[in-house]
Amino acid sequence: MYNLLKGKRGIIFGALNSNSIAWKVAERAHQEGATFTLTNTALALRLGELNALSESTNSKIIEADVTVMEDLHNLFTQTQEILGGKIDFILHSVGMSPNIRKNRPYMEMDYNFYQKTLDISALSLHKVLHTAYKLDALNDEASVIALTYIAAQRTFPDYTDMAEAKAMLESIVRSSGFHLGNHKKVRVNSISQSPTATTAGNGVSGFDAFIDYAEQMSPLGNASADECADYCVVMFSDLTKKVTMQNLFHDGGFSNTGVSKTVMNKFGEL
Ligand SMILES: NC(=O)c1ccc[n+]([C@@H]2O[C@H](COP(=O)([O-])OP(=O)(O)OC[C@H]3O[C@@H](n4cnc5c(N)ncnc54)[C@H](O)[C@@H]3O)[C@@H](O)[C@H]2O)c1
């Protein structure tokens, strides 16, 4: 390891189990010398798996619903007390759509669910950064990463309201990157990750076939959760101080591929 995050303090949202992208980021950040708190909802904490990560990374767990301002206030206050200073990095690895959970097709979405999707998966990033700003909890040159998906730019059949949530999330990344950059040289970026077998990913119907499709479309193949963690570590490190307001595709080339030979061959030999 390279000690890329030595002395840096962070908050990692969204580790649920060992498949979670945030789980892998926590493990890598720990290896690189960071200290951080882990946070998730009461429900996620009751599932009980986070304790193992807390032990292996020597980090405290603080319960917070990312949509509740009081929870976020408490999270930032407690984190600074526990870690002994302001925050250098934040991973927003949170997403949930009740419409997807209930298998509602795009043209039959429930609007209360829809608003919940936007609140949890997009507006929450604004709430997190608003709280950090009000409490002056971020260090100069802090780095914020939110995880997103290419459905923000292109339509996929069963991603329903999460597509709009990701488009909004990426817009909040740009706007907050502008304002926090001017304020304290804080950088804010999103990483647009390949389809990855996690609890959230598997909730999208036909996900296995979709992973195979993306694998065969991408010149480098799908990016794994571990590889995403590597990328997050680089983005939290001092090696990327001038990268901000970007949506960074981490997808093995999927986003710029029209069609691959492997996929074309399924329709007849080239
Ligand atoms: N899995 C994929 O294919 C894929 C691809 C691209 C982007 N992403 C994004 O990566 C991020 C992490 O997802 P994952 O794939 O690791 O799945 P995951 O299910 O492991 O993580 C999602 C997390 O969001 C948390 N969460 C849900 N509602 C919350 C709330 N109200 N407050 C706080 N936390 C809440 C869950 O408890 C869970 O820990 C999400 O933003 C997801 O959209 C995933």
Segment 38-72, tens digit of pLDDT: 999 999 999 879 999 999 999 999 999 999 999 99
How many separate helices (H) and strands (E) can be counted in the chain?
12, 7
Residue 269 has pLDDT above 90, yes or no: no
Q: What is the mean pLDDT of residues 61-84?
A: 98
160-184 and 111-118 helices cross at what angle (nearest 10)? 30
Lowest mean pLDDT among 35-44, 183-192, 230-239, 259-268: 259-268
Q: What is the mean pLDDT of residues 16-25?
A: 97
Segment 139-154, tens digit of pLDDT: 999 999 999 999 999 9
Say which CATH class 9-265 falls into: alpha beta
CA distance 144 to 150: 19
Q: For position 270, what pLDDT does the model report?
A: 64
Residue 82 has pLDDT above 80, yes or no: yes
Give domain limits for the chain. Answer: 9-265
Q: At 98, list the tokens.
A: 């009740």
CA distance 54 to 198: 19
Counting residues of the chain whose pLDDT is more than 70, the rounded percentage is 99
Do residues 8 and 30 lie in contact, with contact meaning Cβ atoms separated by under 8 Å? no
Minimal-distance CA residue to ligand 1 atom 36: 14
What is the position in ligand 1's atom list of the atom closest to the CA of 148?
Answer: 7
This prediction has a pTM of: 0.98
Dihedral through CA 230, CA 195, CA 117, CA 125, nearest 10?
Answer: 20
Between the alpha carbon of residue 121 and those of residues 1, 65, 88, 92, 164, the distances in Å are 32, 12, 22, 9, 10
| 10 CB-contact burial (10 Å; exposed 0-12 / middle 13-18 / buried 19+) | buried
Mean pLDDT of all residues belonging to the chain: 96
Segment 181-208, tens digit of pLDDT: 999 999 999 999 999 998 888 877 788 8
Please count the residues of the chain.
270
Decide the pairing of beta strands 35-40 and 9-13: parallel
List ligand 1's pocket residues with C-beta within 6 A: 14, 16, 20-22, 40-41, 44, 65-67, 93-96, 120, 147-149, 193, 195-196, 198-201
